[in-house]
A and B are shown apart, each in its own frame.
Chain A
Amino acid sequence: MISYLVFLAVIGGIYALLAQSVTLAWGMAGLVNLGLAGFFGIGAYASAMLVTWGGVPVPVGLVAAVIAGAVAGLVVTGATLRLRDDYLAIVTLGFAEAVRIIASNEIWLTGGTDGISGIPGGFPRDWGLGFHAAWMGTISVLVFCVWFGLRRLSASPWGRALRAIREDQTVAAVAGKPVARMKAEAFAIAAGIAALAGALYGHYGSYIAPELFAPLVTIYVFLAVTTGGNGRPSGAVLGGYLLIAFLEATRFAAGAIPGVTALQAAALREASVGVALILLLHWRPQGILPERNQKAPLV
């Protein structure tokens, strides 16, 4: 039971990181990254390949993952930041698909659909529960650091300008803010955070494969962020852990329905995630912890 809860805390922490990535891009800058799963995957592969095959220490792999994610973020946004925001949504959705296809097919680079197994765990796996607890500690610290950093960023002049861009980018541009550059910076940092989450996931679980980075992950995280509140890092952290609680609850709920096969139960669980997201968007789009600074009144 203890080890189950520790495991959930680790996975919850990974989703809390992903949710903070979405908070920065979507909540603060108004940029919808529907390719979150792709950045998650890029980070996982970058670190797993470097550490497993390149033999570098895990922390170096983590840093490399953040850089790889941020660079990918810049490449993806380069073409679209001057366009209407829904173009970015289309491009990022396509990006995640492209990452998955490349990961499945470049067998020499990524191991193809078999994935990469035996990824070093950073801590000795024969510690048993200690291994999981060590990861829980590490990831909790990282969640805290990112939370703290985002709060500082959000309160800084940069964060205020970013929210101004989200509300009205024409006004922000007139006020002399470099709109496209700031959006690119926010998106790149957010992509780096998502990639860090991916790298941690790979090292903790020791195995990654393309299907772990399916579009469903993105929906999960949007559900987490919308639950917690998309304008606040605290909301994202809360949402990440609540998401895991919700997913586990649906596991038991779906298992309790009589006369349903395992596949049907899985389908019901996935569908419930979509339904929950739609309901939240309709009834409480501001989440449990709404953004605190006041929005400009609608004229």
Chain B
Amino acid sequence: MPDSFLFGAILQALINGVISGTILAVPAIGFSAIFAVLNYPNFAIGALASVGAYGGLVANTVFGLPLEVSLLAAFATAAVAGIVVEWVAVRPLNQAGALMMAIASLAAAIVLENVIRFFWGNGLRGYDLPMLRDVQFGAIRVGPQQVKNFGISIAAMVALWAFLALTPLGRAMRAVADNADLARLRGVDPVRIAAVAVALGAGLAGMGGMLIGLDTSIDPLTGPRLVLSIFAAAVLGGLGSIPGAVVGALVIGMAEELTVLLIAPSYRSVVGFVVILAVLTVRPAGLFGARA
């Protein structure tokens, strides 16, 4: 009997991990997409996730929009904030190198975080959602909201895949990520593609911030708390690789849930740090990365 109890607990942790990993993949793709096209780590990604979460909150609780539309609002708010950060704070430094851009993005993150704090305070805010009872399958318990978030995350990834694979703009973005000089020779405008990549990356981060907040509640640090997991997913998958970010996020999601089972829940984020160190020591290019 203890064996089957343990088995059930592990299975439950893995299912939770797949769900949380799929949701985590959304902002992780955003981080990796910006890195792939603009070649610097955007440390505002956590703050942008918070911006999206609050953008969705306004759409949902002030304008009374349904969840799906509010998620689009979260995407749009964070995309606009991401573009502003890029154009005002980061882009003017692109001659000074990736590190300067990364530092500027971190400074911008502090500004964004405090803009949120100025208007909404530090308190917890919740979305206006119907309460739903957990669904039970034998020993396994799943919340319908989680299943819905899982589905939405998958839908967002399919939409992203369709954009990258089927539209001319998406193909141009992949070309720039692959080789910016060759893409420019073929007439791709790098400034426009950079803007699209930032809007897409920041938008996905914002959507991810709201998806994670849907389950519980949000505060200004909702996004920054995710940062370690996002980095870990992106580094594990290979910085700049979008499929890598998805696989990385799934692994991190499961590893975090298993840690909750084995050690203490608050160590979830330390898992991310350990994974980052281990991956960079053993295989810096990550699972799918081409460069390091």
Contacts and interface: CB of A to CB of B under 8 A. Distances in A.
B38 to A, nearest CB: 11
Contacts of A216: 110
Interface in B248-292: 264, 266-267, 269-270, 272-273, 276-277, 280-281, 284, 292
Contacts of A97: 227-228, 269, 273
Describe A's contact surface by its main secondary structure.
helix
Nearest to B279: A79
A278 B154 CA distance: 36
A101 B270 contact: yes
B114 interface: yes
Contact of A285 (B100, B108, B239, B272): B100
Describe B's contact surface by its main secondary structure.
helix
Given A93-B43, A97-B228, A268 B266 contact: no
Contacts of A274: 107-111, 114
Contacts of A32: 99, 102-103
Nearest to B116: A267
B93 A101 contact: no
A101 B267 contact: yes
A68 to B, nearest CB: 18
Contacts of A264: 117-118
B98 A219 contact: no
A90 B270 contact: no
A83 B235 contact: no
Nearest to A105: B266
Given A94-B231, A270-B114, A282-B93, A102 B270 contact: yes
Chain B interface extent, by class: 35 or more
Nearest to B291: A84
A268 B114 contact: yes
Interface string A272-284: 0111011001100
Interface string B41-52: 101000000000
Given A91-B277, A98-B228, 7 more contacts: A79-B280, A86-B41, A90-B41, A90-B231, A93-B227, A105-B264, A105-B266
29 contacts: A32-B99, A34-B103, A34-B106, A78-B281, A83-B292, A84-B98, A85-B98, A86-B40, A86-B99, A87-B292, A89-B41, A90-B41, A93-B231, A94-B228, A94-B232, A97-B227, A101-B267, A105-B266, A105-B267, A219-B106, A267-B117, A268-B114, A270-B117, A273-B110, A277-B107, A278-B104, A281-B104, A282-B92, A282-B93
- Give the 6 A-B residue pairs with the shortest CB-CB distance, closest first: A274-B110, A271-B114, A274-B111, A267-B117, A277-B107, A267-B114
